[in-house]
Amino acid sequence: MFVQQLYTNCLAQAAYYIESDGKAAIIDPLRDYDVYIELAKSRGASIAYVMETHFHADFVSGHIDLATQTGATIVYGPTTQTSYPIYVAKQHEELKLGKVTIKVLHTPGHTPESTCYLLIDENGKPHCVFTGDTLFVGDVGRPDLLDGVMTKEALAGMMYDSLHNELMPLNDEVIVYPAHGAGSACGKNIGKETFSTIGEQRAKNYALQPMSKEQFIATVTEGIAPAPAYFFKDAKLNKQGYAPIENVLSKGLTPLKVADVEQQLKQGATIIDTRIPDVFEQGFIPGAINFGLNGQYAIWAATLLDISKPLMIVAELGKEKESIERLARVGFDQIIGYLDGGFESWKNADKRWDMVISVDEEEFTLDAKHTDIKILDVRKPGEFNDGHLTKALHYSLDALPKQYETLNKDEEYLVHCAGGYRSMIAASYLKSKGFQRVKNVLGGFAKIKTLPLDITYNQEKAQAN
């Protein structure tokens, strides 16, 4: 028996490869499926099953393309309905994979079809459970993604029953392999570890502590941030089907001349510049938005932009394919192409270009103490509440598309996040909307909190630490 977690940091997502006696199963694959085929090939195995824990909302799964390429059977749990052929497994059904067994545990709650898969080894002993978005390290899946179909309270009630009837009865030593880690919006506060055990979660996970069903529902539905709009579009793609990734890549890898880019801009296309913030700020095409490949690139692009609208890529030379592939993972299928030669070709064509000025700690301190310049903190609400510059305005990056119109374009703004990645996204986004007096704060709040400035802290958390 061989089990491998394939973790993708920029999506905080985990897929899994299971193999026994030359037969393999893939759980929750990404859209760019080649890695799974290559892994199986390198080990002399064939892929028999592609198993989905639920209809993912935060990325487009590779299940359809992978099954098409390998002839594997797509497996979902009870109640699942799709627009393409699948095998709908029954509750507690046992699927054989070589010398091991995969037992189906239907665990509705995150979604109605949510299912965990219990891996039983060659000796008949439960080894690990692939929990999808039902159980994370330190958290459980959000129950609010069926707006208008089921209430979050109804789904949370189902989650309580699923946890207590299917997962908590498992032995303490059973390994927990979830679909996501820290940074994913599929939970409220997922732990940094990417796997755990039933025993550890029974002891430490807030949602598995003794409480009534009513208390559980109140606890897990409290304080959930609004889901990004693309979640609902991705879930629909995973349920109804999508274009093969080869088609997306073929179109996206079309080299565009400067004149082509200008024409597409006139027609309303968006430019995503995927260079790292330190490079982007020194010069970019006016209107381009910076989502650097060095961060949670695709997640933030999908959160701020409409994944169904046409866009173009400006990338570091040699990074075009990665830029497009990672966007395809979250459902961007309308990628027109990339600027041939990168930003340098734009400059060499003597076209107008823009910059973002970044301020260091000395300049920021002077501005914060002695001017009326507005300071925008674009971190998440929890980060802001834990500690923030007293005079800062809170405009969480994920909410910026809905809130930027409340800002005054005649004002000057200093934008910061925790370290600098998100603030450059925000600064470039505001510039694309016509804000010209926008500066980025180097080092973010990590640097700000060391400066002689007025900081407001969460007193309860400060005392606890």
Record the tokens describing residue 111, joined without a space.
């979604």
Give the percent of the chain with pLDDT over 70: 98
Record the tokens describing residue 343, joined without a space.
């930003």
What's the confidence (pLDDT) of residue 460? 59
Mean pLDDT of the region 213-222: 96
Instruction: Spell out the domains of the chain, with CATH numbers in brackets.
Output: 2-232 (3.60.15.10), 243-348 (3.40.250.10), 357-464 (3.40.250.10)
Residue 333 pLDDT exceeds 60: yes
What's the confidence (pLDDT) of residue 461? 55
Which residues make Cβ contacts (< 8 Å) with residue 335, sequence separation at least 6? 248, 251, 252, 310, 311, 312, 313, 324, 327, 328
What's the confidence (pLDDT) of residue 465? 42
Angle at 309 between CA 183 and CA 302, to 5 degrees: 0
Instruction: Describe the strand order of the beta sheet including 126-132 as a list of residue ranges.
Output: 94-97, 100-106, 115-120, 126-132, 175-178, 196-197
What's the confidence (pLDDT) of residue 189? 87
Mean pLDDT of the region 150-168: 97
Q: What mean pLDDT value characterizes the chain?
A: 95
What's the confidence (pLDDT) of residue 210? 96
Residue type, 368: A
Other Cβ atoms within 10 Å of 202 Cβ, number: 15
pLDDT tens digits for 342-383?
Answer: 999 999 999 999 999 999 999 999 999 888 899 999 999 989
What's the confidence (pLDDT) of residue 148? 75
Residue 92 pLDDT exceeds 60: yes
Which residues make Cβ contacts (< 8 Å) with residue 188, sequence separation at least 6? 139, 142, 220, 223, 224, 225
Residue 305 pLDDT exceeds 90: yes
Residue 427 pLDDT exceeds 90: yes
